[in-house]
Structure 1
Amino acid sequence: MKLLVSFFALCICLSVSAQELKSPSEFLGHELGTQFTRHHRVIDYYKHLSESASEMVQLEYYGQTYESRPLALAYISSAENIKNLEKIRLEHLKNTDGDGSPTIAIVWMSYNVHGNESVGTEASMKTVYELLTEKTEYLKNTIVIVDPCVNPDGRERYVNWFYQFKNGPSTVDPNSKEHHEPWLNGRPNHYMFDLNRDWAWLTQVESQQRIKKYNKWLPHVHVDFHEQGVDNPYYFAPAAEPFHEVITDFQREFQTTVGKNHAKYFDANGWFYFTKEVFDLLYPSYGDTYPTYNGSIGMTYEQGGSGSAGLGVISSIGDTLTLKDRILHHHTTGLSTLEVASQNAIRLNEEFKKFYRPKDYKYKSYVLNGPNDKLNVLTQLLEAHEIKYGWANTKTSKGFNYSTGKNGQIKTSNHSLVIDTDQKKGTLVKVLFEPNTKLTDSLTYDITAWSLPYAYGLEAIASETKVNADLDSGNIMKTASNHYTNNAYAFIAEWNSFNDAQFLADLLKNDIKTRYAKVPFVLDGVSYDRGTLIITKADNKNTPDFLNTLSALATKHKQVLNSTDTGFVEDGKDFGSASVQPLKEMKVAILSGKPTSTLNFGEIWHFFEQQLNYPATILDSDYFKNIDLAQYDILILPDGNYKKFLNESRMTELKDWINEGGKLIALSGALKTLSKEDKFQLKAKQNETDSTTVIPVYDHNQRNQIKNEITGAIFKTKVDYTHPLAYGYGDSYFSLKLGGAAYNYLETGTVAYLDLDNTIPVSGFAGSDAQAKIGETLIFGVEKYGKGELVYLVDNPLFRGFWENGKLLFANALFMVN
């Protein structure tokens, strides 16, 4: 009798629980797909699920955005699996060591990494609810991890804008304002970074916090839900070529398995879709490739719509695409993915274990030399990815030399960083460090080169034999064991890394007067290079608490300061020479708004606020005509299209400001308009005419076009290291070139350049016609104009915040070019 009563009570409890669990429409108070749901209400719904179905749902907050919005993960599975969630996770991770015997499939689904691809978050709620009510059989052997919104700041920007400008009721006419986002659209995060290109580089707080959780789980399957143009049919796996060579046969095969299952449902509904086109698996910082290089089946799903779709819009062929349609399509592929994963849970575990078996990659070790500051920035990235590293205990290392492009050797010491491919994250190591990625197809969706030794400006060897290294030799960061006395004449600091620029920025902000050397010098038997910072007692005699402030800043930046009791050098120029110039605090302005690229503006904005930590004023193009530029020492023009913005009157104003001492720093596309101004030296290189006319085959048009393109390739440029723009660099700089734009050398002030011997990239793809065009062209340069300067940055040294070796150059443009 007691057993019967207990059973009856349990049934009542389960019934009540089921009744309390509300659908998204019931909870939100509107039918899903008739409105966009704001982020706080999405979080409320997931809280509701975790409370009403607590035995099957766990909600975890893993961080917050730059704008303080919460980032959350929902773990969904059977009651038994949720009860044993940590045990399942640990057993799963044993597979990476070849020890586990798990049977549960782990599927991670990421929604709305692009904020204005807003259907993802809506679809996530519908999918999770159906899992808990109608598809519970999938959960018996599957853990589902849902990130309902990877990019809350971007999504809220889009949703808020839509509510402000939508028609009442919303209109499907594509000409209406609600279908035309402004310059600052919802796609990127707060700093206008594309979070779907930040998985490997981890420059943004959303990525940094997410990767900690991702590495705790390393799921079998990761799906990234996206949207594309209104007229595009749905895209799902399998992906297009090129596939990176490390991708396993099983990873390819399973993509096809998943794609065929999706097709079954799409065919039954008569929905259009495509596969094996456009979206490849190469660039390592995507939400499909990064998981793939960590053993997952990484996939991107793309629904037509995006920021121009609103709640409904008429396509070019007259069909109406609604938010409800978009939700249903993502919902269908989401459940289809879980169905396939559940059916193949054992196979997924077996193949995941195989992925982590030792691999016989060509290069066994990567050995890197360079300033401690640069090495430490790299080790921070390695630690975030849980990549093991050590320090060499040999005197030399042989292998492929990144600098020369040939086999050779470098001297090594216990300050030489060593990363092996014989480790758990060995595949990711190969992908991030290999000198040149193998391309199976030159038509790619993103850049084709990213090798970290080039990006970080480090001397490197890729060795075909494992290099002996100590894994426990500790942190190599400089320690600031400085002694500050009133007897010191001056304090001297190096200038060879971005950390030194951060130190200088702090000195200037704290009113510590600082000089820099324009020529090398020797003092107290120590050699110093151009750009060396010199902080004299005499300059700071009126600075309150000078020594204590200097000491605190040096400790903060781990700077070693050499003190001296004289300004009389043994070789070079004395500290009172005109060759030792004072640095002044610069008032910087950055142009924002319609002529500029949102992404490049964001890179510059993020550089100042989150990296250099130096104040900059944002001037929007809408009111730029009302600004007195005389208030600013520097104006930065990000990449963009300035044809209309820099009209005749504005160009005259700009030239007058430069002539009176202003410094203009122009990047990438901004140079196109400046090069057409007769008074400036900068001129675009003209294509040489070819007397041979070839009629292209229509079907090969895209292939012919790519001959003129450079798809993110790395070139070794020559450098005039005596120029202030190049202080801290040697005679070469590896530049990431993102296109075929080419400009002639300047008459004076050509700093980094390509000659006729350096037109073939050291890594990545460049079309044959593009290579022919870029010989004898400018990469970085400075033109004197009256009392001021124009700094030309043809290539973007701040690209996606990960090209570390370009950051010191940008700091030089700010402080050293004077």
Structure 2
Amino acid sequence: MTRFLFSLLLLVSISVSAQQLKSPSEFLGYELGTQFTRHHEVVDYYEYLAESEPDRVKLTVYGKTNERRPLILAYVSSAENISNLETIRKEHLKNTEGSGNSSKAIVWLSYNVHGNESVSTEASMKTIYELLTKKSNYLENTLVIMDPCINPDGRDRYTNWYNQYKNTPFQVDPNSKEHHEGWWSGRSNHYMFDLNRDWAWLTQVESQQRLKMFNQWLPHVHVDFHEQGVNSPYYFAPAAEPYHEVITDFQRDFQTTIGRNHAKYFDANGWFYFTKEVFDLLYPSYGDTYPMYNGSIGMTYEQGGSGRAGLGIVTAIGDTLTLKDRIAHHHTTGLSTIEVSSQNAEKLNQEFKKFYQNKDFKYKSYVLKGDKDKLEALKSLLDKHEIEYGNVSSGSYKGHHYKTGRSGNMAINNNGMVVSTNQPKGTMVKVLFEPDAKLSDSLTYDITAWSLPYAYGLDAIASTSLVSGNTASDVVQNATIGVPANAYAYLFDWNSMKDARFLSALLKKGIRVRKADHPFSLEGKSFDRGTLIVTKGDNQHDSNFQASMSGIITDYQKPYTAASTGFVDSGKDFGSSYVQMITKPKVAVLSGGPTSTLRFGEIWHFFEQQLHYPLTVLDDEYANRVDLDEYSILILPDGRYGNHFSEDQLSKLKNWVRNGGKIIAMGGSIDALDGDKGFGVTKKKFEKDSSENEPQPYKDWERERMKGAITGAIFKTKVDNSNPLAYGYGPEYFSLKLGSSAYEYLDGGNAVYLEKNTDPFSGFAGIEAQQKISETLIYGVENYGRGKVIYMVDNPLFRGFWENGKLFFANALFMVD
């Protein structure tokens, strides 16, 4: 009888609470799905729920975006669970050590990573409301963590645009303006980065702040809510092949368990859906794969609609897809996910614990050596992921040698590090460091190579043995570094992005800097091309020179050599014409029109957040009216240019370059400057072997197409490091090639190029694509009158994570004159 009364009182309490709690529609003042809700209004609703239900909702602000919008998480569960939140978290994390005894399921729902895939944030409000009312029984053994909007800047960009341009009432005709966003869509964040491809690389502030919270919880289940094309039905797990080999049988099976539960609800409503297609589980930087590699059940859910759908749109088959429809679908899969997780809480905990035990990977340790700045950059990334590493001082290590692609030895005298799979994040280590990810299928959704030793320009050995390292911290406090006043010059090496940032700081401070175009030796030391030379004589005009130099050197903890003379032992003296002043460039970049937003965003982010150097953005709408003589460098980002430049525009560009201007042409923009347009670069002509021209079955067309494709593979290239574009590099460079576009060698100035052998070191490249790119240009410099044209066929700034490519871009700015 007592138990009956308690249950009755509980039901009455929940019923009263549900009656008092405002739904999203009641709170916002309009029916959910009839308008797009701005981010601050979404935050207001979540704050209202936390204030109204403090026992069952805990809200936290975990960061801010570039445009100062708050990033929030809502913890939703029973009153008992919320009161014991920290205990639940700690007990859950003990599972990674094999000692946990947790009984709660932890489900993390992430909404709106792509800003114009805007339905998911709307659905999140309906989902949390129903969790607190009709579905509160799910919360007895389940903690739900909700991020209602991963990308507030992009979402508000889309929402504000749509509210400006929509018809009243909304127009379902897909030709109407409200279904056609402009060049800068709401998909990306402030810097036009795709946040769904940044989980592993952490280049963006949203990703960095979110991962701190994610690592505090490592949920059992993580869902990333998305949208796709208007005419596509709903997609949910199980995912498509290829699955990365580290994904466990349970992770695969539980995706199917959840998918079948979704299907039950979709079938009952007559809604269309598909599974096991398109969206695979390989590339490690997605919102489904990254959680997978940390023991979660990671899933992507895709609703048809995206930025084109607006409040309603007519589809290709004549149906009308409304925002209300889209909300209903995401709301259904969200609650279904929580339902299945609640039903399987015990199994989820058992398998999560099992995931972190008994790792038996082929390679037990990854031993790395190289430039100290590059090692420090890698360590910084590993710290963000809470991946452990150690320092190694000396010895010879045997295993798979990354530079040769086969078994070999690598000696370390000093400045080495080791990362082992024998740690809680061991699976993530294997995925990020493995020389070549195993592909079960070549039809993939993204790049197939990303190995960090290649990305950071480090020599490495993958060892089948466990290599121990010194885990003692080698971090030292910054010390103030004095600059001797009696030195003739100060010499600084040029090997890394840290060096480029240091040069940027000097130039912005007005300090004059020279560069060495030949190796030289002085006072018993050897110096390479690109060495920065700051002389006292060049800076006599600056009364604060000594103080400024000391401050910048201290800020960057930059080692230097103080030279007492400009008379070198070998090479060129400091007064030689081969030791030129670095001109402080005034840089402009083209935006809009033919340029890719993502590729433009990489350049914008590089200047503002990595190099810290001023950049002028010239939009295509008015760029032709701008006097280019005000600028020394014009960057043309990758994109689809075709015949974008008129004859008059090309003539102006040519004259500007002849008179000393410098163009940096990247990716597709090179087509706008090729030989037919008056510059010296030529696209490679490739003809397929006629013996392979027999008709192929229609069912095989997609796989036949892959013969000519490169899905983000790593190639070993040859470097001419006597070319200023390649200062700071060795004789080889591992380039991430994203496609099969190919250009012939230049007549001169080939700084980086592919030789005849084009087998990829990592990732997939079709046989026809390999033949096409054989003996072609990667990076080069063309002299054109008194100016230069720099060609970058491969993208050294791709997604901000290919660290070893960035110095090429810095060379293009500062070293090529």
Query: Does structure 2 conserve the Cα–Cα contact (< 8 Å) formed by 1:480 and 1:561?
Result: no
2-side partners of 1:309 and 1:691: how far apart?
A: 45
> 1:150, CA displacement in angstroms?
0.2
Whether 2:404 is the aligned partner of 1:404: answer yes
Q: In the alignment, which residue of structure 1 is the partner of 2:390?
A: 390
In the TM superposition, residue 679 of structure 1 has moved relative to its aligned partner by 2.6
Residues 147-180 of structure 1 deviation map (CA, whole Å, 9 limit, x = unaligned):
0000000000000000110011111000000000
Q: What whole-Å deviation, never above 9, does each CA across 1:404-459 have from its counterpart, x for those lacking one?
A: 11111112245201100000000000000000000000000000000000000011
- Cα distance in 2 for partners of 1:11, 1:153 equals 41
Kept in 1, the 8 Å contact 2:14–2:133? The answer is no
Q: Which letter maps to 1:776?
A: E
Count of aligned pairs? 812
Tell me, what secondary structure is at the counterpart of 1:350?
helix
What residue in structure 2 maps to residue 199 of structure 1?
Answer: 199
Hey, what does 1:181 align to over in structure 2? Answer: 181
Moved more, 500-509 or 556-565: 556-565
Map of 2:368 onto structure 1: 368
Asked if 1 retains the 8 angstrom alpha-carbon contact of 2:114 and 2:151, the reply is yes
Amino acid at match of 2:764: F
Give the 5 Å matches for 1:86-165: 86-165=86-165
More deviation, 594-603/675-684: 675-684
Tell me the residue number matched to 2:585.
586
Write the distance in 1 (CA, Å) between the matches of 2:776 and 2:539.
44
Equivalence for 1:632: 631
Which stretch shows the higher mean deviation, 371-380 or 404-413? 404-413
Indicate if the aligned counterparts of 1:634 and 1:664 stay in contact, CA closer than 8 A.
yes
Residue 780 of structure 2 corresponds to which residue in structure 1? 781
Aligned-pair distance for 1:396? 1.4
| Residue pair 1:480, 1:560 contacting (<8 A) in 2 also | no
The equivalences for 1:67-82 within 5 A come to 67-82=67-82
Distance 2:435 2:161 in 1: 44
Please say if residues 222 and 288 of structure 1, whose CA atoms lie closer than 8 Å, have aligned partners that are also in contact. yes
What is the CA distance between 1:369 and its match in structure 2? 0.7
| Cα separation, 2, equivalents of 1:7 and 1:675 | 77
Matched to 1:691, the amino acid is S
Paired residue for 1:527? 526
Report which stretch shifted further, 389-398 or 304-313: 389-398
Cα distance between partner residues in 2 of 1:335 and 1:15: 19
Q: Aligned residue for 2:651?
A: 652
Separation in 1 of the partners of 2:600 and 2:746? Answer: 26
Task: Please list the CA deviations of residues 742-785 of structure 1 after superposition, one character each: whole Å capped at 9, or x if unmatched.
Answer: 0000001111001112x110000000100011111000000000
5 Å-filtered alignment, 1:463-478, equals 463-475=463-475
Deviation of residue 346 (structure 1)? 0.1
Distance 1:473 1:51, change over 3 A: closer
Partner amino acid, structure 1, of 2:635: I
| Aligned partners of 1:17 and 1:52 also within 8 Å | no
Task: Please identify, of 551-560 and 796-805, the stretch whose mean Cα deviation from structure 2 is larger.
Answer: 551-560
CA contact (8 A) 2:218 2:294 kept: yes
SS at structure 2 position matched to 1:735: strand
Change (3 A) 1:435 1:656: same
Give the distance between the partners of 1:516 and 1:338, measured in 2 at CA.
61
User: In structure 2, do the counterparts of structure 1 residues 166 and 7 end up closer, same or farther at CA, with 3 Å as the change threshold?
Assistant: closer
- Aligned residue number for residue 190 of structure 1: 190
1:721/1:730 contact within 8 Å kept: yes
User: How far 1:486 sits from its partner (Å)?
Assistant: 2.0
Distance 2:421 2:475 in 1: 21
1:699 corresponds in structure 2 to 699
Q: Aligned to 1:645, what secondary structure does the other structure show?
A: coil
Determine the structure 2 residue equivalent to 1:208: 208
Q: What SS does the aligned partner of 2:602 have?
A: helix
Q: Is the 8 A contact 2:17 2:133 kept in 1?
A: no
Q: Unpaired segments of 5 or more residues in structure 2? A: 1-5
Query: Structure 2 CA distance, aligned partners of 1:476 and 1:741?
Result: 46
**Conservation of the 8 A alpha-carbon contact between 1:372 and 1:476:** no
Q: Does 1:562 align with 2:555?
A: no
- Look up the match of 1:772: 771
Corresponding residue of 1:761:
760
CA deviation digits over 1:299-326, x for unaligned, max 9?
A: 0000000000000000011000000000
2:61 alignment partner in structure 1: 61
How far apart, CA to CA, are the structure 2 residues paired with 1:701 and 1:11?
Answer: 59
Matched-pair contact (CA < 8 Å) for 2:778–2:794: yes
Contact preservation (8 Å) 1:394, 1:468: no
Structure 1: distance between partners of 2:11 and 2:453:
62
Give me the identity figure in percent.
Answer: 64
* AA matched with 2:378: L
Q: Does 1:609 align with 2:608?
A: yes
**Residue 16 of structure 1: how far off its partner (Å):** 6.2
- Please give the alpha-carbon distance, in whole angstroms, between the structure 1 residues aligned to 2:578 and 2:66: 43
Q: What are the superposed Cα offsets for residues 30-52 of structure 1, whole Å, 9 maximum, x if unpaired? A: 00000000000000000010011
The 5 Å alignment of 1:299-318 reads 299-318=299-318
Q: Distance in 2 between matches of 1:468 and 1:111?
A: 41
TM-score normalised to structure 2 length: 0.98
The 1:620/1:321 distance shift into structure 2, 3 A limit, reads same
Q: CA deviation at 1:558?
A: 1.4
Contact 2:393-2:415 at 8 Å conserved across structures:
no
**Which residue pairs with 1:349 in the alignment?**
349
Q: What is the Cα deviation at residue 691 of structure 1? A: 2.7
Residue 803 (structure 2) pairs with residue 808 (structure 1) = no
SS of the equivalent of 2:539 reads coil
Q: Distance in 2 between matches of 1:159 and 1:808?
A: 38
Secondary structure of 2:298's counterpart equals strand
Quickly say closer, same or farther: Cα 1:480–1:494, change in 2 above 3 A. Answer: farther
1:740 lines up with 2:722 in the alignment: no
C-alpha separation between the residues in 1 aligned to 2:480 and 2:50? 52
Matched, 1:796 2:812: no
- Residues 1:686 and 2:692 aligned together: no
Query: What is the CA–CA distance in structure 2 between the aligned matches of 1:61 and 1:642, rounded to whole Å?
Result: 42
User: What SS does structure 1 have at the residue aligned with 2:290?
Assistant: helix
CA–CA distance in structure 1, aligned partners of residues 413 and 163 of structure 2: 60
Structure 1: which 5+ residue stretches go unaligned? 1-5
SS at match of 1:567: coil
1:468 Cα deviation (Å)? 2.2
Shift of 1:371: 1.1
Q: For the residues of structure 2 that align with 1:215 and 1:242, how far apart are their CA atoms?
A: 26
Q: Which amino acid aligns with 1:109?
A: L
User: In the alignment, residue 423 of structure 2 is paired with which amino acid?
Assistant: Q
**AA partner of residue 423 (structure 1):** Q
**Deviation larger for 391-400 or 333-342:** 391-400
Deviation sequence 1:213-252 (CA, Å, 0-9, x none) = 0000000000000000000000000000000000000000
1:509 alignment partner in structure 2: 508
Q: Secondary structure at the match of 1:729?
A: coil
Structure 2 residue aligned with 1:3: none
Q: What letter corresponds to residue 99 of structure 2 in structure 1? A: D
Structure 1 runs of 4+ aligned residues shifted over 3 Å read 6-20, 479-483
Deviation at 1:646, TM superposition (A): 1.1
Q: Equivalences for 1:418-457 in 2 at 5 Å?
A: 418-457=418-457
Q: Which residue in 2 is equivalent to 1:551?
A: 550
Measured after TM superposition, the shift of residue 485 of structure 1 is 2.2
Asked if the contact 1:393–1:468 (Cα under 8 Å) also holds between the matched residues in 2, the reply is no
Query: Contact 2:237 / 2:276 at 8 angstroms: preserved in 1?
Result: yes
Counterparts of 2:139 and 2:279, CA distance in 1: 30
**1:340 shift after superposition:** 0.4
CA distance in 2, matches of 1:304, 1:177: 19
Q: In structure 2, how many angstroms separate the alpha carbons of the residues matched to 1:767 and 1:408?
A: 27
Higher mean Cα deviation, 521-530 or 673-682? 673-682
Question: Is residue 688–residue 768 contact of structure 2 (8 Å, CA) maintained in 1?
Answer: no
- 1:677 CA displacement: 3.0
The alignment partner of 1:225 has SS state of strand
Note if 1:288 corresponds to 2:288: yes
With over 3 angstroms needed to count, the CA separation of the structure-2 counterparts of 1:547 and 1:240, relative to structure 1, is: same
Aligned AA for 1:355?
F
Letter paired with 2:678: K
Measure, in 2, the Cα distance between the counterparts of 1:577 and 1:502: 26
Give the match for residue 339 of structure 1.
339
Deviations 1:339-387 (A, max 9, x none): 1000000000000000001311111110111111111110010000000
